[in-house]
């Protein structure tokens, strides 16, 4: 563990430059005192690490120093081959670059590791596209990606509700979720998410923007995803579920399953349970609960029960006429 941390500290200082003791401590989840001991051990091993004192100080490597520790273990090499997703790379216009990088990586490996280097790629395939969905052409993606990588202001028209709205934003990052690309961007002081497929006529300028210092793409996406899912379910439905209905709840998503688990009561004599399910709206709730068929009974609120009854009566009328012919 210590040797691994020492090597990681060395690599961080080489790639990031000066880092404070507290920043290194946060990175490795250790104390500042531990970091000072690690730096002492690196210095004792002949690594030219020196410290700058003061508020803006920190540790850094002597100018021009580059570590010669370029070897990769077999597991590390296999993991890197797994990380290259050909589909998303092609959408970003990087398929040729990815292929060249993999060839260089394989060529740089020791001879005894090369035969097994691509083993993980030949036995594991990652398909990020959801079921029953094609990989949609994204003519705007590469332009958006260039703006993200270059830190340039991005202008485009965003399609929403059949209309186009002009936008000028600071693009902070791209996220691939379930086969769908999203742009995370800053507008004024707000950070918002845009579906790349709805972006039209993107153009990036020479205007460079300053990224928020405390912005982390992964953390930001996790929070916005959680807020979106939580905010989506604004209403609730009181229902009775048969044992089969309980098992079918997974079709409605994990948030609904969680809501049922938290509110379920003891089963009645027939094994049916009462619980509360989160729903987006009455209209959406009827559509989703209909997927459970006769394994669910809507108890409330009254407006939802009435709407369910109207829907079922309309269906009954259709089939009653069909069978009377």
Lowest mean pLDDT of 115-119, 229-233, 311-315, name the range: 115-119
Contact at 8 Å (CB) between 136 and 197? Answer: yes
Contact 311/253 with Cβ under 8 angstroms? no
How far apart (Å, rounded) are the C-alpha atoms in residues 11 and 66? 9
**Mind listing the pLDDT tens digit for each residue in 121-180?**
667 677 777 776 666 678 899 999 999 989 999 999 999 888 999 999 999 999 988 888
Sign of CA dihedral 251, 253, 256, 262: positive
Which segment, 35-39, 78-82, 239-243, is predicted with the most confidence on average?
239-243
Instruction: Give the lowest-confidence range in 37-46, 258-267, 269-278.
Output: 37-46
Q: Which residue has the tokens 């609904």?
A: 256
Q: Can you give the pLDDT at residue 78?
A: 62
With bands split at pLDDT 50, 70 and 90, how would you rate the model's confidence at 118?
A: low
Domains and CATH numbers, the chain: 2-61 (1.10.10.10), 74-123 (no CATH), 141-229 (2.30.30.520), 235-324 (3.30.70)
Among 7-21, 90-104, 236-250, the minimum mean pLDDT is found in: 90-104
Which pLDDT score, from 0 to 100, does residue 51 have? 82
Instruction: Tell me which residue of 93, 150, 202 sits closest to 194, measured CA to CA.
Output: 202
SS3 state of residue 162: coil
Q: Contact, 206 vs 152, CB < 8 A?
A: yes
Neighbours of 43 (CB within 10 A): 14
pLDDT at res. 265: 94
Q: Using DSSP, how many helices (H) and how many strands (E) does the chain show?
A: 13, 10
Report the chain's mean pLDDT, rounded to a whole number: 84
pLDDT higher at 128 or 208: 208
């Amino acid at each position: 563990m210590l040797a691994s941390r020492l090597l990681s500290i060395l690599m961080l200082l080489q790639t990031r430059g000066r880092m404070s003791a507290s920043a290194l401590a946060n990175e490795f989840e250790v104390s500042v005192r531990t970091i000072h001991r690690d730096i002492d051990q690196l210095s004792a091993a002949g690594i030219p690490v020196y410290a700058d004192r003061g508020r803006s100080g920190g540790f850094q490597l002597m100018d021009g120093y580059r570590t010669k520790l370029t070897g990769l273990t077999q597991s590390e090499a296999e993991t890197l081959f797994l990380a290259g997703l050909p589909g998303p790379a092609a959408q970003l216009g990087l398929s040729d670059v990815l292929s060249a990088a993999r060839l260089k990586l394989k060529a740089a490996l020791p001879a005894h590791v090369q035969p097994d280097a691509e083993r993980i790629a030949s036995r594991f395939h990652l398909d990020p596209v959801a079921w029953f969905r094609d990989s949609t052409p994204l003519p705007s993606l590469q332009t958006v990606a260039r703006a993200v990588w270059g830190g340039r202001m991005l202008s485009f028209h965003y399609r929403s509700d059949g209309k186009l709205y002009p936008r000028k934003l600071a693009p902070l990052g791209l996220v691939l979720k379930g086969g769908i690309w999203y742009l995370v961007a800053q507008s004024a002081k707000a950070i918002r998410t845009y579906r790349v497929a709805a972006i039209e006529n993107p153009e990036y300028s020479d205007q460079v923007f300053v990224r928020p210092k405390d912005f982390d793409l992964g953390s930001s996406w996790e929070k916005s995803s959680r807020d979106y899912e939580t905010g989506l379910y604004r209403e609730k439905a009181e229902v009775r579920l048969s044992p089969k209905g309980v098992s079918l709840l997974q079709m409605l998503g994990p948030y609904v399953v969680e809501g049922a688990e938290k509110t379920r009561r003891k089963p009645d004599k027939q094994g049916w349970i009462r619980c509360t399910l989160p729903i987006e709206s009455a209209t959406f709730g009827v559509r989703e609960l209909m997927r459970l068929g006769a394994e669910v009974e809507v108890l409330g609120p009254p407006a939802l029960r009435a709407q369910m009854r109207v829907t079922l009566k309309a269906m009954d009328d259709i089939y009653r006429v069909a069978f009377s012919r």
